[in-house]
């Protein structure tokens, strides 16, 4: 008598990739080393994410990622793809795709983000789990295509989740996690996965990728909190009487409560993001560091370098708290991390210091530790670690020994 074999039904997506759980894809599948750019990380992630639709529009530095999503469509990994007429058009078209029940991804940068701005609150209000990969660049004017992440500030209160990746590797993992978290029925809002343009999009680095023949389970639009627009479910006549443009207390209350609900959905994403991103923050350096950098994206990478110099060359205990999710903002993690610090520095690749504002808001009334929003560069300027160290030494009143 043959041995009883335990079988599990193997499922495949439309492209013939074996469907695996998000946990398997992100944490358990064997990985091999590749040497890729951030743009290629977008392609590699989308390839393993059972994506239904992507719409593109050219703008530097995100164009290459968008080209490669087109290649995936041509190869059959993505169902719908075309170039739209403008970012406003593209973000509208991708909204239509998501409303019709598709898992969607699109990309943009700088002025394109601002051109499309009207759409982001609409995505959130319509509870569309669209993924926008944002490759941040300067905002005009004067014309700039250089790395500068000012645009992220404009997106913080659109009702979308906003995550900030530090490396191509993290972008790859964040894109896959982004779909999983954004599509949770109790979250179901857009996710913006941001990187600093050029620094990540155009530079090549080692990344470990799972095999290409496995992929995320396909999106199931019938688990969405709002019915997909496909006439396969009873019409959602939740507005028997349109509340817009009615001047009465019920209409105001309806609109206000919906705005709160979108923000509450961001809050509900916390446990999922913590699991799939392995924490909303990363700790780096000497756990007893009295110099604490709080940073995200490429600024965090530079702060880590500066931390090494401070520890090993200046003999100063230093550490980095890297923020992975700006929305939801890791308020508790930040409050916990500042314990023991004497100085907090927030280096940023933008002139206004949006992360400094976020951190100060989280810490108001919780600590007396001085917070310095520096160094801060913009317009494409680089932020060498030596420059960060110099700023720190100057502010804490120590002699600048090794750099200058």
Partner 1 sequence: MSVKIFKINEDLKEFMPQEIVDLEEKATWGNPKRGVMDLPYSKELIEEHSLCAGCPESAAFRYILASLPNPEDTVIVNSTGCTSLVFPHIALHTVHPLFGNQNSVASGIKRVLEWRFPDKVKDVVVIAGDGATIDIGLDCTLQSFFRQEKITTICFDNEVYANTGGQDSGATPKGMEFKMAPGGKQWDKVPMWQLAIDSGCHYVARLSVSSPKKVEQVVKKAIYVAREVGPTYIHLYTPCILEIGLNADQGLWEMRQRDKERFKFFEYMTDEAKEVIKRKKEEGLL
Residue number with CB closer to partner 1 (10 or 239): 239
Backbone angles phi, psi at 229, to 5 degrees: -90, 80
Residue number with CB closer to partner 1 (12 or 208): 12
- Those residues whose C-beta lies under 8 Å from the C-beta of residue 256, and which sit 6 or more positions away, are none
Nearest distance from C-beta of residue 245 to partner 1, angstroms:
7
Nearest distance from C-beta of residue 244 to partner 1, angstroms:
7
Nearest distance from C-beta of residue 129 to partner 1, angstroms:
14
Confirm if 11 and 50 have CB atoms less than 8 A apart. no
- Tell how strand 204-209 and strand 32-37 pair up: antiparallel
Residue number with CB closer to partner 1 (14 or 67): 14
Angle at 202 between CA 198 and CA 203, to 5 degrees: 105
Nearest distance from C-beta of residue 235 to partner 1, angstroms:
5
With residue 235 as reference, give the H or E element that holds it. none
- Those residues whose C-beta lies under 8 Å from the C-beta of residue 285, and which sit 6 or more positions away, are 304, 307, 308, 311, 318, 319, 320
Nearest distance from C-beta of residue 91 to partner 1, angstroms:
8
Nearest distance from C-beta of residue 107 to partner 1, angstroms:
16
Nearest distance from C-beta of residue 72 to partner 1, angstroms:
14
Residue number with CB closer to partner 1 (25 or 53): 53
In order of 70, 71, 178, the CA distances from 75 in angstroms are: 9, 6, 23
Residue number with CB closer to partner 1 (243 or 372): 243
Nearest distance from C-beta of residue 59 to partner 1, angstroms:
17
Residue number with CB closer to partner 1 (1 or 231): 231
Nearest distance from C-beta of residue 30 to partner 1, angstroms:
32
Q: How many CB atoms lie within 10 A of CB 315?
A: 8
Confirm if 189 and 167 have CB atoms less than 8 A apart. no
Residue number with CB closer to partner 1 (238 or 260): 238
Footprint on this chain of partner 1 (rule: CB under 8 A): 52-53, 55, 79-80, 82, 84-86, 88-90, 92-102, 118-119, 122, 227, 229-237, 239-242, 244-245
Q: How many CB atoms lie within 10 A of CB 313?
A: 12
Residue number with CB closer to partner 1 (158 or 350): 158
Confirm if 370 and 344 have CB atoms less than 8 A apart. yes
* Both structure tokens of 11: 């499922």
* Both structure tokens of 50: 């059972």
Residue number with CB closer to partner 1 (90 or 165): 90
Q: b or e along 281-306 (b: 16 or more beta carbons within 10 Å of the residue's beta carbon)?
A: bbebbeeebebbbbbbbbbbbbbbbb
What is the separation of C-alpha 40 from the centre of its chain, rounded to a whole number of angstroms?
16
For residue 69, which of 99, 111, 104, 19 has the smallest C-alpha distance? 104
């Amino acid at each position: 008598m043959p041995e009883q074999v335990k079988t599990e039904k193997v499922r495949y997506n439309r492209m013939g990739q074996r469907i695996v759980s998000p946990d398997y894809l992100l944490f358990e599948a064997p990985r091999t080393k590749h040497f890729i750019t951030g743009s290629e990380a977008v392609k590699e992630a989308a390839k393993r994410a059972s994506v239904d639709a992507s719409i593109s529009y050219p703008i530097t530095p995100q164009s290459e990622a968008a080209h490669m999503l087109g290649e995936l469509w041509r190869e059959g990994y993505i169902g719908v793809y075309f170039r739209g007429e403008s970012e406003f058009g593209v973000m509208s078209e991708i909204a239509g795709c998501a409303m019709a029940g598709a898992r969607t991804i699109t990309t943009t940068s700088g002025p394109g983000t601002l051109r499309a701005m009207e759409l982001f609150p609409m995505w959130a209000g319509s509870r569309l789990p669209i993924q926008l990969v944002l490759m941040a660049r300067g905002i005009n004017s004067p014309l700039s295509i250089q790395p500068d992440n000012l645009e992220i500030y404009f997106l913080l209160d659109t009702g979308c989740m906003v995550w900030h990746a530090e490396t191509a590797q993290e972008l790859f993992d964040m894109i896959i996690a982004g779909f999983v978290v954004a599509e949770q029925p109790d979250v179901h809002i857009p996710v913006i996965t941001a990187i600093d343009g050029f620094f990540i999009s155009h530079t090549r680095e080692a990344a470990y990728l799972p095999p290409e023949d496995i992929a995320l389970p396909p999106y199931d639009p019938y688990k969405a909190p709002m019915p997909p627009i496909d006439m396969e479910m009873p019409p959602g006549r939740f507005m028997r009487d349109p509340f817009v443009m009615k001047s009465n207390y019920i209409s105001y209350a309806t609109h206000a409560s919906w705005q709160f609900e979108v923000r509450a959905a961001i809050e509900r994403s916390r446990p999922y993001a913590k699991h799939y991103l392995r924490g909303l923050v990363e700790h780096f350096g000497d756990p007893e560091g009295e110099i604490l950098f709080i940073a995200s994206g490429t600024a965090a990478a530079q702060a880590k370098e500066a931390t090494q110099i401070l520890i090993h060359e200046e003999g100063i205990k230093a550490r980095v708290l890297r923020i992975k999710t700006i929305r939801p903002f890791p308020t508790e993690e930040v409050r916990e991390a500042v314990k023991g610090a004497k100085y907090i520095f927030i280096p940023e690749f933008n002139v206004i210091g949006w992360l400094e504002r976020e951190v100060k808001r989280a810490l108001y009334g919780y600590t007396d530790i001085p917070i310095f929003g520096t160094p801060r560069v913009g317009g494409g300027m680089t932020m060498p670690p030596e420059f960060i160290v110099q700023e720190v030494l100057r502010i804490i009143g120590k002699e600048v020994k090794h750099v200058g």
